[in-house]
Amino acid sequence: MTDTPKTMNGAESVVRSLHKGGVDVCFANPGTSEMQFVDALDRTKLMHCVLGLFEGVVTGAADGYARMAGKPAVTLLHLAPGFANAAANLHNARKGRVPVLNLVGDHALRHQQYDAPLSADVEAACAPFSDWVKSGTDAGSFAADAMQALAVTKGRPGRVASLIAPADIGWDEGGQMAGAIAPDGPAPLDEDALSAAVAALESGQRTLIIAGNSVLEDTSALAQLRGIADKTGADLLAPTSNRRIERGQGRAALAKIPYPINMALETLAPYARAILIETVPPVAFFAYPGRPSLLLPENCDTVTLCSVDGDGPATIAALADRLGAAPAKVQDRLVPARPQGGAITLKNIGAALANALPEDAIIIDEAVSSGGDTYPAGDAARPNSWLSLTGGSIGIGIPLSAGAAIACPDRPVITIQADGSAMYTIQGLWTQAREGSNVTTIILANRAYEILKGELHNVGAQPGPDALSMLNLDRPHLDFVAMAKGMGVPGRRVEDVAELMQAIEDAAKEPGPYLIEAML
Amino acid sequence: MTDTPKTMNGAESVVRSLHKGGVDVCFANPGTSEMQFVDALDRTKLMHCVLGLFEGVVTGAADGYARMAGKPAVTLLHLAPGFANAAANLHNARKGRVPVLNLVGDHALRHQQYDAPLSADVEAACAPFSDWVKSGTDAGSFAADAMQALAVTKGRPGRVASLIAPADIGWDEGGQMAGAIAPDGPAPLDEDALSAAVAALESGQRTLIIAGNSVLEDTSALAQLRGIADKTGADLLAPTSNRRIERGQGRAALAKIPYPINMALETLAPYARAILIETVPPVAFFAYPGRPSLLLPENCDTVTLCSVDGDGPATIAALADRLGAAPAKVQDRLVPARPQGGAITLKNIGAALANALPEDAIIIDEAVSSGGDTYPAGDAARPNSWLSLTGGSIGIGIPLSAGAAIACPDRPVITIQADGSAMYTIQGLWTQAREGSNVTTIILANRAYEILKGELHNVGAQPGPDALSMLNLDRPHLDFVAMAKGMGVPGRRVEDVAELMQAIEDAAKEPGPYLIEAML
């Protein structure tokens, strides 16, 4: 079935070429204009096809897959509205610099001149949420376009590419296999910046190193960075939002720049010098009356030692070499005492997670307003990969976990999921059930868009009952266990913290998905 | 509370001006950048605020509201990803020529230069799904921009306008009240086209009149059109997709151009002449190999008697006058025999609906592949308003019904809802429960993207098990009753057609939402 045939249509040439280029998973929510891809995927059997019941599930899963597999999956999306449904999680992937390759079906070229019901400008719809957009023009060059898109996604630091696929170039014969194109390598080491960074670290002034992206995925680089900090007295922070951090016992830990504006400003206020590695100067999530947009102090002398398209671990090795700094030996961290029981609160949930998160777990963090209390658990827990909401567009957790589980079927996935955010892409539970993935979703049920209550205060409002009603989800109550059951995912509600820990431990050991509704 | 204050911020000036212009409902899924609107809505108490747990619910509800209220609601959306989540149902509203006014929050103007996590080009995101886009520039002119947007939405034939609201112009003082701007009136009657239409109708050749938009909402115009057909021998059809048709006993009935390409071509093949009233030449939903895009025969002589921005009912009156045609007296139509029991099938479901749909109901039709069997029920049933999926982007039914119920709290709303499509915006059930709306959702559970199986054949594929697996929703089964319960909507599963009718009749009589999962 999988021998390359002498003649094939455009869709088949794309599927076969991408597969030769290493793409073997397709996340899909196809429609009529993608039927030739469904057919080609069916006939070639080259890719594992994962169906999402909503496009935001498809792209969130592609993001989670790529973060853990270290390579892109392909998505199959349907016209401009299908792309729009997919866009919020592509926004997150793009801000996280995660490689995702979209095949976006469009009407046949000859049909595009008519105002058919599903017609809209697909290129224009893709542009704000893609780093690269191209529309295929004919069956013969279609696979070459796809391979170009693949190279774009894999270029450092990871990009979102959208190839638009008019239906007729998929079904026309004349498809030609296309070979792999080498992606852009990392930007070279900047020797001047390296000297400036060394000078900053030896200046005697209070200096902060902020390191992001691939540094956080590399335990050796993290240990080397900690060694630099130990030797020079510099402090270390990670950005607020990160695609993946290797955390847990035995690994050097970095705190994050806090999300709340006042905490962020306070955290960064002491620094006269800042060194950036694979990240940009930190900026507030939102603007607020009377607060600055840029978070570092105005007079902070900032060196971009390694831009986001550079090689952070190699840069850190060069910096350590210049400073004569050895990698730090990471000490065991104290695990908070295991809570013995009682109501689940923001005070005990961190300790509960630190004790209950299993070895080698993938943690999907969409805790939002509870994040300040749950995030520290990742350092005290057993070694884990910690994946966060990157672009601020809520509704990533359930899909991200579905994709991560497909990349790493032998690792338990634990999703720490805010309730309000869960509702944006709740359909992803069905994909977890369909794929039999070992994902344990912990719903942090505070029955509110809790984070927005703080934001209302930040703009100077004194919220009355109508405003609060727009931010509360308690009328009616959401019953996540019932919703999960409706999508084939078993689950239970827990109100006791000891019971929560037991439920996490049990669910992670069992194959297949499970949902725990933790009442806060 | 609602007296206009002497000074106010930009957000309050917008809320107060729009309210004076007749807008009294706000469908919202706000985020941080919209907090000043939440605050202004809270303080003024001028609008009924309806929360959706996902933006596609918000815009689908705004569409349903406008179709029934005959005027726009305002939506409150959050930045580019929030708009993207909203876009698919805005696409449907736009294709249905339904007025919707979006307020899309953006970062404060000074914050837009930084690459904050939620930054993206909001204007570019809005453009493919809006007829009009503008970004507000300062608090003083913000309300004037909003009133211009309102006028755009109300201009014939109904438009989608998106006003981008940078956070700071919302919270800045200096808001100024702005008055209503008269929307564009309808295009004037085209006397030449009128003469051409009369000539066509008197030509003796087989002539088809296709009438859309406001004609279908006007029972007098429908009777007059039927009178013209009776007098001249012309046939009448409605477009495939329509925002609202007044149907049922006592009203002139128009069949629709069928969706399946071969049926559509066959239906239109006989006509040498076509007259278009408030519609465009019919075009295939999708292109298929070997089939044309335009559905009327190539040699069909087509007259656009009234363009989509014209006044169809007035045009029909003028045409009837020229022809000396009186309004038809509509005969009672046969109601199919009430099914006595047995499995629910596509053969008996039309009869079941024709008998069970209550008087004066609003029917929301997202039946998709079952539509050919359910649609005819609308003519045999008691008088009803029938609202369809207009832009082909599935996931409209549950939100559309939530909005229609808010526009018409005293009418029962019945949603005929395909299962696959329901999953795109299932969160809308929660909004129905929150608002206590009398919506009865009938899930037509065939556990497949059934319509795509036909489409796979239409592109020449012979689907194997992998392809069918991408189109089947049976692994695992979806349990809609459980999902509805999870969102506060009671329901039941029915497998017998008599039980289905009883369940519809019972649910429509009870206040509040209900869900019936009809197993096909």
Instruction: Per-residue pLDDT tens, chain A, 520 aa: give them.
Output: 457 898 999 999 999 999 999 999 999 998 888 899 999 999 999 999 999 999 999 999 999 999 999 999 999 999 999 999 999 999 999 999 999 999 999 999 999 999 899 999 999 999 999 999 999 999 999 999 999 999 999 999 999 999 999 999 999 999 999 999 999 999 999 999 999 999 999 999 999 999 999 999 999 999 999 999 999 999 999 999 999 999 999 999 999 999 999 999 999 999 999 999 999 999 999 998 899 999 999 999 999 999 999 999 999 999 999 999 999 999 999 999 999 999 999 999 999 999 999 999 999 999 998 899 999 999 999 999 999 999 999 999 999 999 999 999 999 999 999 999 999 999 999 999 999 999 999 999 988 888 888 888 888 888 888 888 888 888 899 999 999 999 999 999 999 999 999 999 999 999 999 999 999 9
Instruction: Give the C-alpha separation, A162 to B347, whole Å.
Output: 43
Are B480 and A486 a contacting pair at CB < 8 A? Answer: yes
Q: Which CATH architecture has domain A191-323?
A: 3-Layer(aba) Sandwich (3.40)
How is domain A10-171 classified at the architecture level of CATH? 3-Layer(aba) Sandwich (3.40)
Report helix, strand or coil for A438.
Answer: coil
Cβ pairs bridging A and B (under 8 Å): 329
B286 touches chain A (CB under 8 A): yes
Are A478 and B280 within 8 A, CB to CB? Answer: no
Instruction: Determine contact: B283 vs chain A, CB below 8 A.
Output: yes
A282 → chain B, closest CA residue: B116
Task: State the average pLDDT over residues B484-513.
Answer: 97
Q: A 219-248 residues with CB below 8 A of B?
A: 240-241
Measured between beta carbons, the chain B residues lying within 8 angstroms of A284 are 111, 116
The predicted-structure confidence for B83-135, as pLDDT tens digits, reads as follows 999 999 999 999 999 999 999 999 999 999 998 999 999 999 999 999 999 99
- Give A358's Cβ-side CA count (13 Å radius): 20
- Closest residue in A to B96 (Cα) is A117
Identify which of B82, B117, B171 has the shortest CB distance to residue A241: B117
Distance CA A203, CA B85 (A): 49
Cβ contact (<8 Å) for B286 and A49?
A: no
**CATH homologous superfamily of A349-519:** Thiamin diphosphate (ThDP)-binding fold, Pyr/PP domains (3.40.50.970)
Which of B85, B129, B431 would you mutate first to test chain A, the one with the most A CBs within 10 A? B85
Where does residue B184 fall: left (phi above 0), alpha (psi -120 to 50 degrees), or beta otherwise? beta
A293 touches chain B (CB under 8 A): yes
Strands (E) across B346-422 are located at 361-366, 384-388, 413-418
Whole-number Å distance between alpha carbons of B105 and B107:
7
B126 contacts: CB under 8 Å, gap ≥ 6: B83, B102, B104, B133, B162, B164
Mean pLDDT for B18-22 is 98
The 3-state DSSP class for residue B452 equals: helix
Question: What pLDDT, on a 0 to 100 scale, did the predictor assign at position B105?
Answer: 96
> What amino acid occupies position A291?
R
Mean pLDDT of B223-250: 97
Which secondary-structure segment (H or E) carries B509? helix B497-509
Q: Is the distance from CB of B416 to CB of B357 less than 8 angstroms?
A: no
- Spatial CA neighbour of B211 closest among B139, B275, B123: B275
* Three-state DSSP string of A238-283: ECCCCCCEEECCCCCCCEECCCCHHHHHHHHCCCCEEEEECCCCCE
Q: How far apart are CA A438 and CA B378, in angstroms?
A: 46
Q: Is residue B370's pLDDT more than 70? A: yes
Distance from C-alpha of A96 to C-alpha of A74, rounded to nearest angstrom:
17
Tell me the Ramachandran region of residue A232: left when phi exceeds 0, alpha when psi lies from -120 to 50, beta otherwise: alpha
Residue A477's contacts (CB-CB under 8 Å, 6 or more residues apart) are A447, B488
Say yes or no to pLDDT of B260 above 80.
Answer: yes
> Chain B contacts of A477, Cβ < 8 Å?
488
Q: What is the pLDDT of residue A10?
A: 97
One-letter-per-residue 3-state SS of B216-272: HHCHHHHHHHHHHHHHHCCEEEECCCCCCEEECCCCCCCEECCCCHHHHHHHHCCCC
Query: Distance (Å, rounded) from C-alpha A181 to C-alpha A381?
Result: 41
Q: State the span(s) of chain A assigned CATH 3.40.50.970.
A: 10-171, 349-519
CB contact under 8 A, B128 and A129: no
For residue A220, the tally of other CB atoms under 10 A from its CB is 13
Nearest by Cα to A380 from A401, A398, A404, A363 = A363
Q: Is B343 exposed, middle or buried (0-12, 13-18, 19+ CB in 10 A)?
A: exposed
Write down the pLDDT at residue A451: 84
DSSP reduced 3-state for A339: coil
pLDDT score of B2: 59
In chain A, how many H helices and how many E strands? 21, 18
For the question of an ipTM over 0.90, the answer is: yes
Residues 6+ apart with CB under 8 A from A447: A419, A472, A473, A474, A477, A478
Q: Coil, strand or helix: which one is B393?
A: coil
Q: What is the mean pLDDT of residues B35-58?
A: 95
* Alpha-carbon span A56 to A396, nearest angstrom: 8
Q: Tell me what pLDDT residue A2 has.
A: 59
Average of pLDDT values for B354-383? Answer: 96
For residue B408, what are its two tokens?
Answer: 């018409």
> Which residues of chain A does B434 touch, with a Cβ-Cβ cutoff of 8 Å?
475-476
What residues have CB less than 8 Å from A331, skipping those under 6 apart? none
| Arithmetic mean of pLDDT, B461-482 | 89
Q: Would you call A471 and B38 a contact, using CB atoms and an 8 Å cutoff?
A: yes
Cβ count near B140 (within 10 Å): 16
A41–chain B nearest CA distance, Å: 7
Task: Render pLDDT for B320-350 as a digit per residue (tens, 0 to 9).
Answer: 999 999 999 999 999 999 999 999 999 999 9
Asked if residue A148 lies in contact with residue A160, where contact means CB atoms within 8 angstroms, the answer is: no
CA distance A72 to A96: 13
Q: Where in chain A is the domain with CATH 3.40.50.1220?
A: 191-323
pLDDT tens readout for residues B286-308? 998 899 999 999 999 999 999 99
A55: part of which helix (H) or strand (E)?
helix A55-69
Q: Closest to A478 (Cβ–Cβ): which among B430, B458, B470?
A: B430
Q: Which of B483, B235, B494 has the alpha carbon at shortest distance from B356?
A: B494
C-alpha distances in Å from residue B406, one per residue of A411, B24, B383, B388, B516: 47, 11, 20, 17, 21
A392: left (phi over 0), alpha (psi -120 to 50) or beta: left
The predicted model scores a pTM of 0.97
Is A117–B391 a contact, with Cβ atoms under 8 angstroms apart?
Answer: yes
* DSSP helix/strand/coil, A6: coil
Residue B421 has pLDDT above 60, yes or no: yes
Phi, psi of A405 (to 5 degrees): -65, -30
Distance CA A309, CA A152 (A): 13
Amino acid identity, position B380? A
**b (16+ CB within 10 A) / e for B224-238:** bbbbbbbebebbbbb
HEC string of A379-410? Answer: HHCCCEEEEECCCCCCCCHHHHHHHHHHHCCC
Question: Does the distance separating the beta carbons of A455 and B111 come in below 8 Å?
Answer: no
Contact assignment for B167 to A286 by CB distance below 8 Å: yes
Interface check for A321 against chain B (CB to CB < 8 A): the answer is no
Confirm if B81 and B105 have CB atoms less than 8 A apart.
no
Q: pLDDT exceeding 90 applies to what percent of chain B? A: 90
Q: Is A141 on the interface with B (CB under 8 A)?
A: no
CB distance A393–B81 less than 8 Å? Answer: yes
Name which of B8, B38, B113 to mutate to probe chain A: the one with the most chain A Cβ atoms within 10 A of its Cβ.
B38
Classify the phi-psi angles of A488: left when phi > 0, otherwise alpha if psi is within -120 to 50, otherwise beta: left
